[in-house]
Amino acid sequence: MKRSSGFTLIELLVVISIIGILASLAIPAVTSALTRGQLTQTLNNARQLTLATQQMSLDTTVTGNGPAWTTSDGTTMVSFQDFINNLVSNNYLTANDVKKLLAAPGVAQATVTTTNITVDTNTSALTVFQTTEGTANDQAFIVTRNWSDGALTTNTPYAKKGFVVFRKGGDGAIYTRPSDASAYTNVFGVTNAANLKAIQ
């Protein structure tokens, strides 16, 4: 009488163990790729916010009055809420555009009505620094909120997994090494980076 062949318990355990090992090796790579993709989206969001601000400032330069960068009149700094209001009320972005641009994993969503958006530093993935027309182009204009005073923090988004920097001149990058956060000359390209002040 012929016996049917099949897997023994030992063979099944070996196969399950191998699958478990392969899965444990793959998970960090998948997680890293997901974070990188999210950081890339945040970089694109910072780019769009910078482009809208540049256009607003260019129009103000042509007309001779109005908001420019993070100011109301070229010199007087405004709050983060007023900065966003200037972009929305002057039709450089819609309220829903801003909500998407300020979003990132783990960040509270800004409140949006048909035409208005309520924001503060807790409903934004991005920190915007005080900037005027005379500010150097290589100064940081926007960074993710987890960068603070030259170091990565546990703040969302991304905590110490990486951060985004976008400079006034229109270029930006993703940094994934914590040591980059304090390397001012490499990341920001300016000697006064330690004196950057966020609009609140």
Helix pair angle (80-89, 9-63), 10° resolution = 70
Residue 186: the pLDDT is 57
Annotate the chain with three-state secondary structure: CCCCCCCCHHHHHHHHHHHHHHHHHHHHHHHHHHHHHHHHHHHHHHHHHHHHHHHHHHHHHHHCCCCECCECCCCCECCHHHHHHHHHHCCCCCHHHHHHHCCCCCCCCCEECCCCEECCHHHCCEEEECCCCCCCCCCEEEEECCEECCEECCCCCCCCCCEEEEECCCCEEEECCHHHHHCHHHHCCCCCHHHCCECC
Percentage of the chain modeled with pLDDT above 90: 46
Percentage of the chain modeled with pLDDT above 70: 87
pTM of the predicted protein model: 0.83
pLDDT tens figures, 96-127: 999 999 999 989 888 888 778 899 878 899 99
Rounded CA-CA distance 67/59 in Å is 9
Which pairing describes strands 117-118 and 111-112: parallel, antiparallel, or unpaired? antiparallel
Rounded CA-CA distance 150/140 in Å is 12
Residue 82 pLDDT greater than 90, yes or no: yes
Rounded CA-CA distance 122/109 in Å is 9
Residue 190: the pLDDT is 53
Averaged pLDDT, 31-56:
92
Rounded CA-CA distance 114/76 in Å is 29
Residue 138: the pLDDT is 84
Residue 2: the pLDDT is 56
77 versus 1: which is more confidently predicted? 77
pLDDT tens figures, 148-192: 877 788 888 999 888 999 999 999 999 887 777 776 555 565 555
Residue 38 pLDDT greater than 80, yes or no: yes
Rounded CA-CA distance 125/102 in Å is 5
Averaged pLDDT, 21-39:
78
Residue 192: the pLDDT is 57
Residue 90 pLDDT greater than 80, yes or no: yes
